[in-house]
Chain A
C-alpha cells in the first residue's frame, strides 16, 4: 500500500481542532500573573527563615516533578530517588573539592551523571515491574550512598564535604534572597520542561506505556526506548536538584540522603495527586511544610517545652498517617480536592495535563 491511500479517500469533511478554545486562552494567564506577582513580592516581605523555607519547597518541587514524570506519567516506580539526589550532590562536592570546579561545570556534570545512572538503573525496568522494579531502584540508593561514604572516608572528610557558594563573576549566590530567586527559576524551568515533554509525542508515548504496554508496542512504540528515556530525563533533573541542594546547603554528607528522603518524595506525588504536575508541586509544598506546621502547632500548646523531645517522633508518625489517609480517602491527592473545589465554582487555572 502506498502512503497516500488514506489520503485519496478524503472528502471535503473537516473537523476544526482548535476552534473557540483560543479566544479563552488569555484568561488562563491572569492567575498565572497573580501567582508570579505573589512569588516576587514574597521575596521582599519574607524573613530569611521563610525565604529559606520557600527555597526548600522549590528544591522539593524540582525533585517531585522529576519523580512525577517517571512514576505518575511513565508509570515506572522508583524508590532510589534519594540516591540520585545524593549522586548530584556528590558530583558537586567531589568536583569542587578536588579540582575547585565552578558551578557551570559541576551542574552539567551532575546532570549528565544523573542521566548515566538513570540509564543503568532504568535497564531493570525493561524486565521488571511494580515491587520488583522498586527493589532494584533501591539498590541504586545504597550503591550511591556507599560510594559517597567511601569517598568521605578516603579523603578524611569524616563529617561531610563543605562546598563554597557558587559565584557569577564577583557576585556570590549565598543570601537567602538570592537562593530564593535561583531556586524559583530552577523550579519554573523544570515545570516548563515537564509541561512541554508531556504535550509532546514522548508524553503521549509514556501515557500509552503506563496503561497498555502491549497495545502501545503493537502500534509501533519502542517500549524500551521510552522507558529508558523516562529514567534518563527524570534522573538528570533529580541529580541537578541534588547539585543545587549541595550548593544551597554548602555541605554534602551521606546522612542527608536517607531512604526516608526517597519515601518522602514518593509521598509527595501520592499526596499531591498521581499523574498531575500541579500535584507534584502541591505535594512538595505539603510534605516540606508539614514538620514546620506540626512544630508550630505544638508550640501553641501549654507547656510546649515538654514535648520538644517528642517532636521528631511526632513528625514521622504524622507523615505516615497523612500518607495513609490520602491513599485511603483521597487517592487523587490534593489535586483531587482542588478539582472538587474548582467544580464548586472557583475559577482557578487548570494547568496540568491529563
Chain B
C-alpha cells in the first residue's frame, strides 16, 4: 500500500547556503499518528514547513529529494495549495485569528464551494468534539486561553476536511491535564476520521503514548526510528533525547557543544 505522505530524502537549504535539513525520509499512512521528536534545532519544524510549503517565507526551499502526497509531488508548492490539497497545519504558536469570533474562525478555512448548510454542519461536528468551543462560539479568538486556542486550532483544521493533519508542538505552554485531554482528542480524530496525523513534539513522553510510529531527528537527520514502545526502552534514545539517564551516563556540556558544532558545519 502506498503511503499517504512519503518524504523521500529531502534536503532543505536556507538562503541558498545554509542546510537546515540534510536527509530526512519518513512515511505516514491514513489513520496513523506519526511523531517527530528531537531537540531544538533538530529540523522538526523545518520538515513540517517543507511539507506545507512555508519554506518560502524564510527564503528556503527543498533542494534534494521529493515529498509525495497521495502519489503527487508537492515539494515547493505554495502553502494555500497544499492546504487545499488536503494537508492542514496547526502551527506552533499563533493559530487562531484574535479579531474573529470562534464561529468566524471556523468559517475561514472552509473551501469556497462548500454550501452554508454544509459549513454549519461541519461547525456542529467540531462543537461536538470540543464542547467547550460551542460555549465560547461568540467570543473573539484573542480572549481564549492557551488550551482553548489549541482546541480552536485543531477545530479549524478539521472543518476544512484534511486528509493529513500536521501538528506543531501541541504541548507548548499547556498544563499536563489539558495536554492529556487534547492528546485523547487526537486519538479520537485518528480513529473516527481515519486521517493521517504527523505531530512534532518536545514532550516525548506524552507523544509516544499515542504514537503509532516515531522518528527522532538529530542535526537535520533521522537518527532513530521505531515503534514507540521500542524507542522508550532504547538506549540511544535515552541518551540523545532524554538527556542521558541511559547506559553511557550524563553527557557533558562540552560534548553537547561539540555535537552542535558538527551539526552546524558538516553541511
CA distance A210 to B125 in the complex (A): 27
Question: How many chain-B residues does the 8 Å CB contact rule pick out?
Answer: 48
Q: Is the CB–CB distance between A6 and B158 below 8 Å?
A: yes
Q: Contacts A13-B128, A201-B107, A220-B83 known; A207 to B100 CB distance under 8 Å? A: yes
**B125 with A6: CB separation less than 8 A:** yes
Please determine whether B80 and A222 come into contact, CB atoms closer than 8 angstroms: yes
A217 close to B121 (CB less than 8 A): no
Closest chain B CB from A53 CB (angstroms): 35
- The answer to whether B160 and A219 touch across the interface, beta carbons within 8 angstroms, is yes
Q: Which residues of A contact B208 (CB under 8 A)?
A: none
B193 near A1 with CB under 8 A, answer yes
Contact status of A201 and B112, CB under 8 A, knowing A13-B128, A208-B97, A218-B91: yes
Are A207 and B161 CB-contacts (below 8 A) given A9-B192, A217-B83? no
Within B96-132, the residues touching A (CB, 8 Å) are 96-100, 103-104, 107-109, 111-112, 120-125, 127-128
- B52 an interface residue at 8 Å Cβ cutoff? yes
Q: Verify if B255 is at the interface (C-beta below 8 Å from A).
A: no
| Binary per-residue interface labels of chain A (186-222) against chain B in the complex, 1 for a CB within 8 Å, 0 otherwise | 0000000000000001001101101110111111111
Q: Verify if A5 is at the interface (C-beta below 8 Å from B).
A: yes
Q: Which of B79, B95, B194 contacts A217 (CB 8 A)?
A: B79
The one of A17, A211, A221, A354 that contacts B80, using a Cβ cutoff of 8 Å: A221
A215 touching B96 by the CB < 8 A rule? yes
Q: Distance in Å from the Cβ of B254 to the closest Cβ of chain A?
A: 38
Q: Size range of the interface on A?
A: 20 to 34
* Cα–Cα distance between A220 and B192 once the two chains are bound (Å): 23
> Among residues 105 to 147 in chain A, which have CB atoms less than 8 Å away from a CB atom of chain B?
none
Nearest CB in chain A: distance from B155 CB, A: 11
- Residues in B with CB closer than 8 Å to A275 are 99
Whether B54 is near chain A, meaning CB under 8 Å from some CB there, is yes
Q: Is the CB of B89 closer than 8 A to any CB of chain A?
A: yes
Chain B residues, CB < 8 A from A218: 52, 54, 79, 83, 88-89, 91
The reply to whether the CB of A324 lies closer than 8 angstroms to some CB of chain B is: no
CA distance A275 to B195 in the complex (A): 38
Q: Check if B94 is an interface residue, CB within 8 A of chain A.
A: yes
Q: With A1-B163, A216-B108 in contact, do A204 and B89 touch (Cβ < 8 Å)?
A: no
The reply to whether the CB of A155 lies closer than 8 angstroms to some CB of chain B is: no
Q: Which residues of A contact B95 (CB under 8 A)?
A: 212, 215
Asked if B19 is at the interface (CB within 8 A of a chain A CB), the reply is no
Most interface-central of A15, A221, A223, A275 (chain B CB within 10 A): A15
Alpha-carbon distance A159/B260, docked complex (angstroms) = 72
Chain A residue nearest in CB terms to B110: A201
* Interface flag for A10 (CB, 8 Å): yes
CA A322 to CA B136, docked complex, whole Å: 38
B71 to chain A, nearest CB (A): 15
Q: Is A3 an interface residue (CB 8 A)?
A: yes
Q: From residue B168, how far is it (CB to closest CB) to chain A in Å?
A: 10
- A14 at the A/B interface (Cβ < 8 Å)? yes
Shortest Cβ distance from residue B183 to the other chain A in the assembled complex, whole angstroms:
18
Q: CB distance B108 to A219 under 8 Å? A: yes
Kindly provide the distance from the CB of B217 to the nearest chain A CB, expressed in whole angstroms: 21
Contacts A17-B103, A207-B100 aside, 20 further interface pairs with beta carbons under 8 A come to A1-B163, A1-B195, A3-B161, A10-B124, A13-B124, A201-B112, A204-B104, A207-B97, A208-B100, A210-B99, A212-B94, A212-B95, A215-B91, A215-B94, A217-B78, A218-B54, A220-B88, A220-B160, A222-B80, A223-B80
Some 19 contacts from A to B, beta carbons below 8 A apart, are A1-B30, A1-B163, A1-B194, A5-B161, A7-B125, A13-B128, A15-B124, A15-B127, A207-B108, A210-B99, A211-B98, A214-B79, A214-B91, A215-B95, A218-B54, A218-B89, A220-B83, A220-B84, A220-B88
Interface residues of A (CB under 8 A from B): 1, 3, 5-7, 9-11, 13-15, 17, 201, 204-205, 207-208, 210-212, 214-223, 275, 354
Give chain B's interface residues, CB within 8 Å of chain A: 30, 52, 54, 57, 78-80, 83-84, 86, 88-89, 91, 94-100, 103-104, 107-109, 111-112, 120-125, 127-128, 134, 137, 156-158, 160-163, 192-195
